Each structure stands twice: as structure tokens, then as C-alpha cells.
Amino acid sequence: MTLTRASTTMDRTDANNARLERKARLSWRRADAARRARPGLRGLGILCTALILLGSAPASAKPPRLTLLIVVDALGSDLLLRSKPRLKGGLARLIAEGAYYPTARYEYAKTDTASGHSTVATGANPWRHGIVGNQLVDRSTGKLIPIFADPDHPLLEAPPSSGDVSPRNLIAETISDRLRLATQGRGKSVAISAKARAAIPLAGRLGQAWWFNDTVGKFVTGTFYAKEFPAWVRTFNNRQLPQSYFNKQWTLSLPPTEYLGDDDRQYESDWNALGRTFPHPLNAGLSSPGEQSFSILKCSPYMSDILVELGKAAIVGEELGKDQIPDLLSVSISSIDFIFHQFGPYSWEMQDAMIKLDKSVGELIAAAEKAAGGKHNLLVVLTADHGGAAIPEEWAAAGMPSVRLSAAHFQDGLSKQLQARFGADLVAGVQLVEVYLKDKTIIDKGLDGAVVRRAAATWLANQPEVLTAVARDDLFRDSEPSFGLDALRRSQFKERSGDVLFLLRPFVTLSDAKDGADHGSPYAYDSEVPVIFFGKGVRRGIFRQRMSPIDIAPSIASMLEIGNPAMVEGTARVEAFSTGD
């Protein structure tokens, strides 16, 4: 009952919010149009306005004209460190000339794409921004619901999708929203990715979000963000770059002797006929481009090149970096994650993808630098949303206590246990660190929910692969600091999270696939990522101190002099920036 009431109130609030958001977006669009229509005002006039708007910024410390935020999906700390000796392009340049934090750490339990991007964008952990993971479990049906699903805002010019389409569930303000508000809609913000759940949090409510849609083979957005395609996106889609890769193959950049290990490894995946060895065909066995060939294109480094091209089109189309009002271009590069899942972080495919990523990032930075009028007008930030574990069977073969377990393994065992004790089927679903129970059945049966949750936690805690398990009733009860509980607390958000939270032991992978690799734990291999600042005002060096990606948004906010996003938990990394200009 409580849950039903809460969600009704939530729906009403959401409807109000949606109305207000629509109004706000219209007003920002008018500001955008005004900015485009008055090119003559650029220069001194706009500079003065910007300085007044930006408060006490001294004339010598102007914010960078353009901020390029690059999130490389699944680029763990270890992966970048291992690849470093071979890098010569953009990644090498960021490391050599920037402030490089090799091992920043997400401090929450469920490290995945939606939560990671939302944390980077808001400067807060999931317990504040509400994006607890890629998907939620519907407690009555057991079905998975994408976290950015929103039936009220369908895709624009694409078949209806039950996938991610709008930021409605994002509670916190993002750095993109902050920029738009602080500049009264004149600072532009464009976020692009092959994944909706990456582009949406990076755009927040007030930026533009564009992501790749496998069904139509082009970049799309949701009606939350736009009612029609701007000319630059339409023109870009008309170039049909994704289609142009259909008859191509993914080939190695270096001679085979340069790659470590074997190309063909037992637990690599052969998803959609991509094959396990080089060269990889990109046609998915089809006779013409279609959904499967578009899916495997995302699992090749060439999708990064397409994103770089889209980034360049955004720079030109939205005139990013052209005047003194700061703009934000956020690019989430998804291919590394898809390649990681299919082939694992030690594969030839990953080694080759890193060499190609290095080039793509170099090209993106060069385009941003040109747009901003030089490095002194540009801020680049590079990070990742999470890292990733090795293929569990390979870790086991190397002698680590590693095992692959399915969610069904825990769901079946727990269901039997609760059935025996309470006489009902009570488990709705098991996610990475969460068990969702059937709340309606608990009420219908007259059971005490807390008793059921604690019984489930006790059973889970006794499983040999489980490190710790706790009923949500007890999550905040114990005030003793504890690695497991602290991480689980930061991952939990009201009724969106599971009824029981649990952590597997290190090297245990929860995966429903038979092969490939996964992520989602709080352990270093999943939670540690690089953070690099580069460009205007940045002190070069390697910074080995403790750092969390929640510090990224406040660092950018500090450089742009726009104030912090509303629910920020992190702090600006002052050691990475020089004072003045």
C-alpha cells in the first residue's frame, strides 16, 4: 500500500516536473536561437555579459570556451596502465600533458554504465542521484525495466522502444544542467554516445542527448529532448557512416607478433557472427545492413570513429567553443565496453581497440582544440564509468578463486529456501548486488516483510561465494564503518533498490552469459578508473592520491565558474589546477 501511494504521488510530481521541464527547455531553445541570430554581438559585448553573469571571475581567469568530457565505457585503471607503453596518440598526450589520476575509485557497490555516467555528471553517488544501475526489477512481474525508460517520451523518428529514452529518473542536477542554467541557456551542451544510458545522464535535462539506435542504424534522441532533428544531426545521419562499414572487416593495426597471448581463446564470444579471431567481418552474416550488423559495429573500434565524426559535426552544427560563453561536449565512447564483454580485457581485440582508441581520442581533442581556438581555451576531462573483471574461467586457470555464477543460481536457491519457510514464491529477481522480493505476495500472505528480508539475507550470507548480505531494514543500522556496507549504502536509493543487498567475494562474476567478461562489483578491477584533466589551467603531473569520480563535476564547475550541481558530494581537485591563467 505504501509503495502504491508513493508511486502515485511520484507520478503526479513527475507530471508537474515534466511540464516545467518542457517550459524550461523551450526557453533555453529560444536563448539558443537568439545566440545564433546575433553573430554580430559576439566578442566584447558577449564577453561583458558573460563576466557579469559569471559573477566575480577576474578578467585574467576566463573559463575555457569549450569543455570536452570524454567517458570511455569500461576503461579500467589497469587497462589504461597496461596499454600505456604502446600509446602515441590522444591518450598518450592526455597522460603526458595533463593531470593524470591513474586510480580514481567509484565508492559504491554496483559499478555499471548508467550509475557511472550519472555519478560523473552529477558529482554524487547513486544514493543521491537515484540511478542505482542499468535496470530495475519490477517486483510484480520480475521483468527488468531500463532505468531511463519513460513511456511518456518515445524516441524521435524511430520505432517505439521500451528502452532508455529520458532523464526522468535522474534526481540530481548534472554539470550540463548547471552550465545551461548558469549561462541562462546560452552555453551549449551536447552529449553523444552509442548508448542511450550514457548520453542521457551526460546531457541531463537541459542538454542535447544523441545516441545510436541499432534498429534504424542512425543517431536518435527522445521527444523529451527535441521535437525535431536539428539540421546537423539530419545531415550526419544522411551520410550513412554506420552503413559504410558493412562490407569491411576489423583488422589488426600492428603485426600479429606485437599482441600478447593468443587470438583464439576458449571463453571469447562469437556474438552475431563477429567471430573470435581476426579479421572480424562486420556484416553479421546478412546480405545488407540491418540490426545485427549495427549491433556488432558497436562492438568494433569503428564505432568510436563514427562518434568522433558526430562530435565534429556537433562542434560545427552548434558552434561549440566559438565564443566566450562556455560550452560542453560530452562524448561517451562505448566500443571498449562491448569489446570487453565479448572478448575480455586481455584479448587481442582489446589490445587492438586501445591502439585505435588512442588515435580516435587524438582526433577528437584536435577538433575541440581547433574549435576553441587553442589548448588555452579548452578543458578536456577523460574518465570511465567503470572498469571490468577478466573472463572468470581465465582467472581460475591462472589460479585465482574465480567462478562464473548466474543470477538464476541465487534466485533458485533463495526461492526454495523462502518457499520452505513461508509457503510462497517470494523472489521477483536477482540483480548484481540486489534481491527484489514480491512485495504484493508478502502483503497478501500476511507476512512480516522485515522477517522475510532478514531470512533472505541470512541465507545469502551463508552461501560460500557471498561476502556479506543485509536486509534493507538493517543497511543503515550499523554505524561501524565497513567496506561492504558503505559501498552498498552508496548504491541504494529508496524503493528502486532491492530488498536485500549483497556482495559476492572478489573474483566471483555474476553473469547470465556462458562466455565473455563482466563488471559490477566494488572491487578495484571494476571500480578503479583513470581521471585525466588537460588544457586550460591544468597542472601536468601524475596524481596518485585518493580520488573519486564524484570530484569530476565539481572540478569542471570550478573551472567554468558556474557553481556546483545541486546534490554534489565531491570536491574540486584544486591540486590539479593552477590559480589564475
Stretch that binds Zn ion, among 72-80, 235-243, 392-400, 503-511 (CB under 5 A): 72-80
User: Whole-number minimum distance, CB 74 to Zn ion, in Å?
Assistant: 5
User: Whole-number minimum distance, CB 432 to Zn ion, in Å?
Assistant: 13
User: Whole-number minimum distance, CB 197 to Zn ion, in Å?
Assistant: 8
d(CA 150, CA 167): 8
Stretch that binds Zn ion, among 264-272, 334-342, 360-368, 372-380 (CB under 5 A): 334-342
By CB under 5 A, residue 332 contacts Zn ion:
no
Stretch that binds Zn ion, among 25-33, 70-78, 217-225, 462-470 (CB under 5 A): 70-78
Report helix, strand or coil for 523: coil
Stretch that binds Zn ion, among 110-118, 246-254, 488-496, 542-550 (CB under 5 A): 110-118
Stretch that binds Zn ion, among 68-76, 171-179, 245-253, 390-398 (CB under 5 A): 68-76
User: Whole-number minimum distance, CB 73 to Zn ion, in Å?
Assistant: 4
Cis-peptide, bond into residue 279, ω within 30° of zero: yes
Residue 132 C-alpha cell reads as 542505482
Which CB, 243 or 295, lies closer to Zn ion? Answer: 295
Amino acid at 204: G
Cβ–Cβ contacts within 10 Å for residue 13, how many?
A: 10
* Among the listed residues 73, 78, 268, 305, the single contact to Zn ion using CB under 5 A: 73
Q: Are the C-beta atoms of residues 552 and 383 closer than 8 Å to each other?
A: yes
User: Whole-number minimum distance, CB 70 to Zn ion, in Å?
Assistant: 14
Which CB, 173 or 385, lies closer to Zn ion? Answer: 385
By CB under 5 A, residue 135 contacts Zn ion:
no
By CB under 5 A, residue 164 contacts Zn ion:
no
Which CB, 384 or 471, lies closer to Zn ion? Answer: 384
**Nearest alpha-carbon partner for 337 in 361, 354, 360:** 354
Binding string, residues 269-298; x marks residues near Zn ion by CB under 5 A:
------------------------------
By CB under 5 A, residue 439 contacts Zn ion:
no
User: Whole-number minimum distance, CB 354 to Zn ion, in Å?
Assistant: 16
User: Whole-number minimum distance, CB 484 to Zn ion, in Å?
Assistant: 22
User: Whole-number minimum distance, CB 146 to Zn ion, in Å?
Assistant: 14
By CB under 5 A, residue 526 contacts Zn ion:
no
Which CB, 335 or 492, lies closer to Zn ion? Answer: 335
Which CB, 113 or 125, lies closer to Zn ion? Answer: 113
Instruction: Please state, in angstroms and as integers, the Cα–Cα distance from residue 104 to each residue in 111, 505, 514, 545, following that order.
Output: 13, 21, 31, 8
Q: How many residues bind Zn ion (CB under 5 A)?
A: 4
d(CA 552, CA 120): 6
Instruction: Please state, in angstroms and as integers, the Cα–Cα distance from residue 348 to each residue in 345, 386, 530, following that order.
Output: 9, 21, 22
d(CA 210, CA 116): 18
d(CA 131, CA 110): 10
By CB under 5 A, residue 385 contacts Zn ion:
yes
d(CA 443, CA 139): 13
Beta bridge partners of 471: 500
d(CA 304, CA 319): 22
Q: Are strands 189-193 and 327-333 parallel, antiparallel or unpaired?
A: parallel
* Among the listed residues 113, 166, 208, 221, the single contact to Zn ion using CB under 5 A: 113
Stretch that binds Zn ion, among 241-249, 323-331, 335-343, 494-502 (CB under 5 A): 335-343
* Among the listed residues 78, 164, 323, 337, the single contact to Zn ion using CB under 5 A: 337
Which CB, 73 or 107, lies closer to Zn ion? Answer: 73
Question: DSSP state, 387?
Answer: -
Q: Are strands 135-137 and 144-146 parallel, antiparallel or unpaired?
A: antiparallel
By CB under 5 A, residue 518 contacts Zn ion:
no
Residue 33: burial class (beta carbons within 10 Å; 0-12, 13-18, 19+)? exposed
Report helix, strand or coil for 463: coil
Which CB, 201 or 498, lies closer to Zn ion? Answer: 201
**Nearest alpha-carbon partner for 363 in 300, 301, 305:** 305
Residues contributing to the site for Zn ion (CB under 5 A): 73, 113, 337, 385
